[in-house]
Structure 1
Amino acid sequence: MKRILTFLLLASFAVIISCNNSGSTNNTASESAEDNSLQKVKDAGKLVLGLDDTFAPMGFRDENGEVVGFDIDLAKEVASRLGVTLEIKPIEWSSSILSLNKGDVDVLWNGVTINDARKQQINFSKPYLNNRLVIVKAIDDAAINSKDDLAGKVLGVQVGSNDEALTADPASKNAKEIRRYDVNVNAFLDLQAKRIDAVIIDEVAAQYYISEKKAPFVVVDNSPLTEELYGVGFRKSDEKLLAEVDRILDEMKADGKAAEISQKWFAKDIVLK
């Protein structure tokens, strides 16, 4: 009888310990899954922004080598209202999503087009800018007047940026060749040298480049390949940081700061309300 009682007591004790340990494990898992993305940025005292630093006018280097641009000014104001500084980190844009998900940067903020392929891997803020993917040709080129005229032509596009949208458009299927570039500037240099027939690029970047460089190019009117929306990219797990950035951007739209920044770069307010 004593042996039986002893056995039962030991068995009960083991069950209690097991239950306690199980609860502890579950609590630990719950704690590790907790979203501390916003607090992490605040504790670090900085918001790390990943970008392609050649994408004017969104984020690029000026004549002094400083990274400037429309997105940079927006992000600096957001960081200030978060109570942190903005750290700008140029990255290889073709692997930008990998850099974000590895934790190398906190956000991707550089005219990032919202599309279904990217939404499978990252989350986006509310859209803050409308943009179109357009065709840029040499000013003396009379052969390309619509996307239907891209048949048999050699096209240039930035890898990891607009190549997905170009490839998805039926008009690209009849192109002779699609050449992919690390940066848009190299595509424009090849266009000027007539090594390619057209560049497929975001309209804001195209118009800025043509204006600033006095480049002998034109945007093909009324023939966008896509209508696009820009958003800030976040890791899937960083919902609290995303929500706070969205809140601040809404605040900036309401108090006129976003419009002020837009006027600086585009001479008009093009920010989505």
Structure 2
Amino acid sequence: MLACAALAAGMAPAAMARMATVPVPVPATAPAPISEALPARLVCHDDVFVPYVMLNQGHIEGLNVDILREAATRLGIAIEFRVMPWRRLENELAQPQGSVDCAFAMSRTSPREQYLEFGKVPLQPTEYALFVRQPEGKAATIAKLDDLAGKVIGVRAGFRLPDAIAIGAAQGRWTLAEVPTDTANFQKLALRRIDAVLADSSVGLYTLKQLKLADIRRLAPPLARFDTYIVFRKNAASPALAAAFDRELKRMRQDGTFARISATYLGVPTLE
């Protein structure tokens, strides 16, 4: 599967404020409430990944940005977003003394779990699919992955490859062509410089809509489906922080906030 910043701050929900007005005795041995362990400010990084993270005249916005900003506001955290190329971001997160303490949206892997705190509630489910040229009214020349034998598949640099794609490339069944952006990938596909594009389904559909490209379709079923999360560098405070975001992300799904924000960017809710 690219710096500017946008700051958003807010107060905790009204229900929590009302609860705070009622004094409740707390035993000396009781653990501190989660809210007391949360930072007042959080800086979180991701690469540009339209429509989840976008740069608009120096302002960072997007589907995941809006979702995390709302969750942070509900928690009373001032959250700042910064853009960092994906490979550099992964390297920074893996360094014991790296400069990044929060990132999104990361898939869960055993190596990452050694140094990153993952929550239990996904930020987004993700589908990876192939997009190919198919002029209207004409029979498909590429209908499945095996039809790409001897051809070139465009992938975004740093993209997590589905096993079927990675194994086939290692065996020489097809060639992978890396580019820095999804936009460049789909433009190359339209110009017939590559034979297919591997992309996040929502990203692909959004990009095709923005570029007004016709005669390109998504193959079904998707090659892979997995969840992605907001992650935090592991430390004494990270379990409480992950749990707090879990709680608010779950509430946002239940109260319709997820669907509302998703429809703003995609016209339909995100995958569930």
Q: Could you say which TM-score interval applies, normalised by the shorter chain?
A: 0.7 to 0.9
* Aligned position for 2:74: 81
If each structure's helix is expressed as a fraction of its own residues, which one has the higher value? 1
Is residue 2:244 matched to residue 1:251?
no
Report how far residue 191 of structure 1 moved.
2.1
Report the CA distance shift for 1:121/1:150 in structure 2 as closer, same or farther (over 3 A): farther
8 Å CA contact 1:155, 1:175 repeated in 2: no
Q: TM-score, normalised by structure 2?
A: 0.73
CA distance in structure 1 between the partners assigned to 2:210 and 2:149 by the alignment = 30
Report how far residue 171 of structure 1 moved.
7.7
Report the CA distance shift for 1:144/1:106 in structure 2 as closer, same or farther (over 3 A): same
* Aligned position for 1:10: none
Q: Secondary structure at the match of 1:89?
A: strand
CA distance in structure 2 between the partners assigned to 1:271 and 1:197 by the alignment = 27
Is residue 2:188 matched to residue 1:190?
yes
1:68 alignment partner AA: E
Report the CA distance shift for 1:39/1:143 in structure 2 as closer, same or farther (over 3 A): farther
Q: Sequence identity of aligned pairs in percent?
A: 27
Report how far residue 41 of structure 1 moved.
6.0
User: Deviations 1:216-244 (Å, cap 9, x if unpaired)?
Assistant: 35233323211222222222332221111
* Aligned position for 2:101: 106
Report how far residue 39 of structure 1 moved.
6.7
Report how far residue 71 of structure 1 moved.
0.1
Structure 1 unpaired stretches of 5+: 1-36
CA distance in structure 2 between the partners assigned to 1:139 and 1:235 by the alignment = 44
8 Å CA contact 2:168, 2:174 repeated in 1: no
2:141 alignment partner AA: A
8 Å CA contact 1:134, 1:219 repeated in 2: no
Report how far residue 120 of structure 1 moved.
5.0
CA distance in structure 1 between the partners assigned to 2:207 and 2:130 by the alignment = 13
Report how far residue 103 of structure 1 moved.
4.3
Is residue 2:258 matched to residue 1:267?
no
Is residue 2:45 matched to residue 1:56?
no
Report the CA distance shift for 1:248/1:258 in structure 2 as closer, same or farther (over 3 A): same
CA distance in structure 1 between the partners assigned to 2:112 and 2:212 by the alignment = 34
* Aligned position for 1:158: 156
Q: TM-score, normalised by structure 1?
A: 0.73
CA distance in structure 1 between the partners assigned to 2:203 and 2:100 by the alignment = 23
1:46 alignment partner AA: R
Number of matched pairs:
231
Instruction: Work out which of the two has the higher radius of gyration on C-alpha atoms and give 1 or 2.
Output: 1
8 Å CA contact 1:57, 1:69 repeated in 2: yes
CA distance in structure 2 between the partners assigned to 1:117 and 1:178 by the alignment = 25
8 Å CA contact 1:89, 1:105 repeated in 2: no
Report the CA distance shift for 1:160/1:121 in structure 2 as closer, same or farther (over 3 A): farther
CA distance in structure 2 between the partners assigned to 1:170 and 1:115 by the alignment = 22
* Aligned position for 1:70: 63
8 Å CA contact 1:258, 1:271 repeated in 2: no
Pairing partner for 2:146 from 145, 148, 158: 148
* Aligned position for 1:91: 84
CA RMSD of aligned residues (A): 2.8
